[in-house]
Amino acid sequence: MRISSSTSSSRIGMSRGWLCAAAVAMALIVASPGRADAQCTSWPTNTTVNPGTGYSDTINVSGLAYGTYIITATSSGSAGLINLAFSAAPGVSWSNGTKGFIGSSTTMYLSFILAAAAQPGRWSTVNLSVTNTAGQTVCSSSFVVSVAGDACPGDVVWNGTTVDATFDGANCFVASMPAGDGSPFMHANNYYMTRGPNNVCEAGWFDGANCYLGTPPSGKSGFFWGSAFYYSP
């Protein structure tokens, strides 16, 4: 008795069809263009700059899919950065002031000047980014620019010795209010506490009326705020 092989042939044909389809799909995947990972190298790192001087740096970009890209640089803070500039070469500049480049790689140039009147200890953050025309960030980075110098110069007389104040970003921190029951206050630009129980000075020494703690540097104005003594830079 002869058994027909049509069913078997049909299955073999279907298997071959699936294999061919898979092979074609794989070929399309391999042949389709892929976007390489962007490489943005040599990003600036935190730096300290002297007042009245300039700063410049370069950042290399490569590995992008060919296209149009926009570059931006912004700053925020109190350091006093002026003439912040960010450009690319090769690059383009559009009529609205936006800058960028067309291609898959470029070199970006960053520069600014630190204001001559910038105060020591102040700082600003610079934010840099590369985006595509869809608004997607390709790569970005930020760094801090600090103004060189001592923001809190001079010694503070405090509780019988001299101490260095610490700049907190706005003022010069001298010391926290001493523990005890006395109340802090300023008098004649000196740091004081009222006497505690039994009229005893729990910190500082008795000046005949209250407890003297210290004095800010000459020419500086001391004050009490929150729970600590300070002076203005």
- Lowest mean pLDDT, pick from 33-47, 146-160, 169-183: 33-47
pLDDT-derived band at 154 (thresholds 50, 70, 90) equals confident
Cβ-based neighbour number of residue 76 at 10 Å:
11
pLDDT score for 46: 97
Q: Looking at residues 141-159, what average pLDDT do you find?
A: 93
**How far is 102 from 37, CA to CA, in rounded Å?**
17
pLDDT-derived band at 38 (thresholds 50, 70, 90) equals low
pLDDT score for 40: 87
- Name which of 70, 83, 59, 80 is nearest 142 in CA terms: 59
pLDDT, one tens digit per residue, over 85-97 is 999 999 999 999 9
pLDDT higher at 190 or 182: 190
Whether pLDDT at 112 is above 80? yes
- Name which of 149, 123, 156 is nearest 223 in CA terms: 156
Whether pLDDT at 30 is above 90? no
pLDDT score for 180: 80
In the predicted model, what is the mean pLDDT of the chain? Answer: 85
pTM: 0.67
Q: Measure the N-to-C terminal CA separation of the chain; round to a whole number of Å.
A: 109
pLDDT score for 153: 85
pLDDT score for 191: 97
pLDDT, one tens digit per residue, over 183-226 is 999 999 999 999 987 788 988 999 999 999 999 999 999 999 99
Q: Looking at residues 155-173, what average pLDDT do you find?
A: 91
Q: Looking at residues 126-152, what average pLDDT do you find?
A: 95
Q: Provide CATH code, domain 39-147.
A: 2.60.40.10
Q: What is the DSSP string of 111-141?
A: EEEE-TTPPTT-EEEEEEEEEETTS-EEEEE
For the chain, the structural domain boundaries read 39-147, 156-231
